[in-house]
A and B are shown apart, each in its own frame.
Chain A
Amino acid sequence: MKLEVAVTKRFGAFALDAAFTAESDRLGIFGESGSGKSTLVGLLAGTVTPDAGSIHLDGDCLFRSENHINLPPERRRIAMVFQDPHLFPHMNVRGNLLYGYKRCAFKNRRIDLESLVQILKLEGLLERGVNNLSGGEQQRVAIGRAILSNPRLLIMDEPLSALDDELKFQIIPYLTSVCDAFGIPFVFISHSLLEMRLMADRVIVMEKGGVADQATPEQLALKRMGRSQVGYINLLRLKNPRQVDGLNAYRWGGGELLLTAGTTRQEALFELSSRDIILFKRHPEAISARNLLKCRVAAAFEVGNRTGLELECGGERLVAEVARQAADELGIREGGEVFAAVKASAFRKLG
């Protein structure tokens, strides 16, 4: 999906002036509240009209002020998922799901109800009223309703912000799997860097009504490392745990990681802060930390008054940070070897 945007829009004291070209099927728009993300979403979907400029999606013109082209929302085939589900309260689940499908031209109908219901696990809910579904179920129906309209682009405007942490990480796999399964490109809007890293592979950074940066989520996370209270968050997707003396052992990077946090599920996501990794120049004989990993320094970079290190460890990657003097004493150089120690309790389960 290729999105070319160059628009201006003024609302009282707030002015949006955004121009970017992005090519990605998993595009993120990242920024704090008030940065103009939601206005941009409205301009893309056609619910807000720009003052001037143009918007092109895959070469097709959606808006162009010079030629007075402004495709109405119903003809853009851009579906939306909002922060709140916004289901139609007077229809049951089936009625909601099929609302967009019934209005989609026959030639564009690729996705049908049965396969969608299967992926989103909505069996048994179809005849229910939408007001007595749980929050997670409602958001799944909202996603299904958008997907079933067979859009050429799906816009998700903070779809996870209203959900608690546990629910959030339950919904993410649905979002990614349903878009992958049906090949629907999406624009994902959020103020959470973590969500960006889980959902997008290209990110537009919005600040004060303008585009401040365009990068991959990883580049963005590394750039923001110095500003963050918790350093860089390493994300580890770990599978098939084994019980070892009350700890959970997961295979990772050619060895095993020992964690106190655990889950009964087969696969889980864990976070590890760059600040919770201690580095040794040589192998220490005995330490209390349960994980000692032999790593190669792939890159070293400045993060404020600290040194950030990208470590390569049995084919996996970890980011650590140490004080600058520590880096000097350790003799850190790219390509050199270090030992990283991580306490079993430093890993936090995300979902």
Chain B
Amino acid sequence: MVSFSPADYSAIYLSLKVGVTATFLSLPFGYVAAYLLTFKEFRGKIVLDGVVNLPLVLPPVVVGYLLLLLLGVNGWLGHLLNAAGIRIIFTWRAAVISSAVVGFPLLVRSIRVGMEGIDARLIQASRTLGAEWYDTLVTIILPLSFKGIVAGSSLMFARSLGEFGATIIVAGNIPGVTRTIPLAIYDYAGAPGGDAMALALCLVSVVISLAVLILHESLGVRLARRDRP
């Protein structure tokens, strides 16, 4: 029987913390992006669509490197943040940002699928009944795309649990600080005699992922039931 060291527990804890934070942090932005891409016609829509989806097709390492350029002490955003006394690189915040960026297209895509399923006439009806666009957004579009939001959030959370390439570049692999489950597994797999520990952490990954899937399914079932009272 393998027993986890405090560093392993902190990797598990950190993975959960990064996943949850990245998901909740991205939700409002993902929702707005999905809304714009689904319902609005504007100049530069193709560009926005491209930027949102880019992390899906780029190797995570490339995403990580671009983030490093942006957020590093000499990067233009990192420079500003540094002046404000905020350090991103090689902290758990960097892990959150890389997870958020890499998972963002998945989140937006799922919410879009949910929004595209809404009958345009429902939105028209709500507008002609006196609802302003933001009122319609909250009272009609939000509840009717809720399934998409749940699906997108669980996908994003699952993706951030597996995030490796971008994280190792921007956040590093510091035990107890930025070492998440995948990074810990990578360490164990490379070290002599670490197979058992690597496997144990894999098992933890599987259990967490299954738990998220089951939660998602049961929420989906409950939502479907609510729609047919």
CA distance A90 to B224 in the complex (A): 10
8 A Cβ contacts from B105-149 to A: 119, 121-122, 124-132, 135, 139-140, 143-144
CA distance A248 to B49 in the complex (A): 69
Contacts of A47 in B (CB 8 A): 124, 127-128
Q: How far is the CB of B19 from chain A (nearest CB, A)?
A: 29
Contacts of B130 in A (CB 8 A): 74, 77, 100, 103-104, 149
8 A Cβ contacts from B132-172 to A: 132, 135, 139-140, 143-144
Given A45-B124, A86-B122, is A149 in contact with B229 using a C-beta cutoff of 8 Å? Answer: no
When the two chains form their complex, are residues A89 and B131 in contact, meaning their CB atoms are under 8 A apart?
no
Q: How far is the CB of A108 from chain B (nearest CB, A)?
A: 10
Contacts of B126 in A (CB 8 A): 88, 99
CA distance A82 to B121 in the complex (A): 8
Contact of B129 among A72, A79, A84, A92 (CB under 8 A): A79
Q: How far is the CB of A65 from chain B (nearest CB, A)?
A: 19
8 A Cβ contacts from A103-151 to B: 103-104, 128-129, 131-132, 145-146, 149
* Per-position 1/0 for A148-167, Cβ under 8 A of B: 01000000000000000000
A80 on interface, CB distance cutoff 8 Å = yes
Residues of A within 8 A of B (CB): 45-47, 72-74, 76-80, 82, 84, 86, 88-90, 92, 99-100, 103-104, 128-129, 131-132, 145-146, 149
Chain A's closest residue to B136 (CB) is A74
When the two chains form their complex, are residues B129 and A78 in contact, meaning their CB atoms are under 8 A apart?
no
When the two chains form their complex, are residues B124 and A90 in contact, meaning their CB atoms are under 8 A apart?
no
Contacts of A78 in B (CB 8 A): 128
When the two chains form their complex, are residues A145 and B144 in contact, meaning their CB atoms are under 8 A apart?
no
B228 on interface, CB distance cutoff 8 Å = yes
In the complex, 28 of the A-B residue pairs with CB atoms within 8 angstroms, ordered by the A residue number, are A46-B128, A47-B127, A47-B128, A72-B132, A74-B127, A74-B131, A76-B128, A77-B130, A78-B128, A79-B128, A82-B125, A86-B122, A88-B122, A88-B125, A88-B140, A89-B144, A90-B143, A90-B226, A90-B227, A103-B131, A103-B135, A129-B229, A131-B227, A131-B229, A132-B229, A145-B125, A149-B128, A149-B129
When the two chains form their complex, are residues B228 and A80 in contact, meaning their CB atoms are under 8 A apart?
no
> How many cross-chain pairs have Cβ atoms below 8 Å apart between A and B?
71
CA distance A146 to B125 in the complex (A): 9
Contacts of A132 in B (CB 8 A): 228-229
8 A Cβ contacts from B177-216 to A: none
Contacts of A79 in B (CB 8 A): 128-129
Q: How far is the CB of B135 from chain A (nearest CB, A)?
A: 7
CA distance A89 to B124 in the complex (A): 15
When the two chains form their complex, are residues B128 and A89 in contact, meaning their CB atoms are under 8 A apart?
no
Contacts of A90 in B (CB 8 A): 143-144, 226-227
Residue picked from A74, A80, A146, most chain B C-beta under 10 Å: A74
CA distance A146 to B229 in the complex (A): 23
Contacts of A76 in B (CB 8 A): 128
CA distance A132 to B228 in the complex (A): 7
